[in-house]
Amino acid sequence: MNYSLVPERYKEKDPRTLLYHFPSIPVVKFAKITQRFYFFKQLEIAQDIVNRLGYILLPSVCMHWERVKQFADRRIKIGRNSFLMMKIEELTEKEKEKLNEYVSELRGGEKYATN
């Protein structure tokens, strides 16, 4: 299974040219769109590096807090979200279930990610 946490088509809506084409765009809306884009860009870079090291990125919400403390040295913080570098063999069954649920939720919500 593909454990990518980055939506496949997030780059299609690159907000960097929006201000040029739409100078009257509300500041708050532009900030939110840009923040979301750069979050996924940072997540993609982190995921690429982690995959090269032989790990996957696991959102900390998929783990029990005591287990998160055990792997504190493997934590990556992007924005307000924390992710952990884990090997697939190290995951418990419950963590695998939660990760699959998280990824499928991302895939299902991709078409609504324009808000």
Per DSSP, the residues of 40-92 read: HHHHHHHHHHHHHTT-EEEEGGGS-HHHHHHTGGGEEEETTEEEEEE-GGG--
Residue 112 has pLDDT above 60, yes or no: no
Task: Examine residue 1 and state whether it is found in any structural domain, yes or no.
Answer: no
What is the domain count for the chain?
1
Task: Examine residue 5 and state whether it is found in any structural domain, yes or no.
Answer: no
Task: Examine residue 41 and state whether it is found in any structural domain, yes or no.
Answer: yes
Model confidence at 106, pLDDT cuts 50, 70, 90, reads confident
Task: Examine residue 3 and state whether it is found in any structural domain, yes or no.
Answer: no
Domain housing 107: 10-112
Look at the block and give the residue holding tokens 């009257």.
Answer: 24
pTM as predicted: 0.82
Residue range 22-35, pLDDT digits in tens: 999 999 999 999 99
Residue 109 has pLDDT above 90, yes or no: no
Task: Examine residue 4 and state whether it is found in any structural domain, yes or no.
Answer: no
Q: For position 105, what pLDDT does the model report? A: 87
Model confidence at 3, pLDDT cuts 50, 70, 90, reads confident
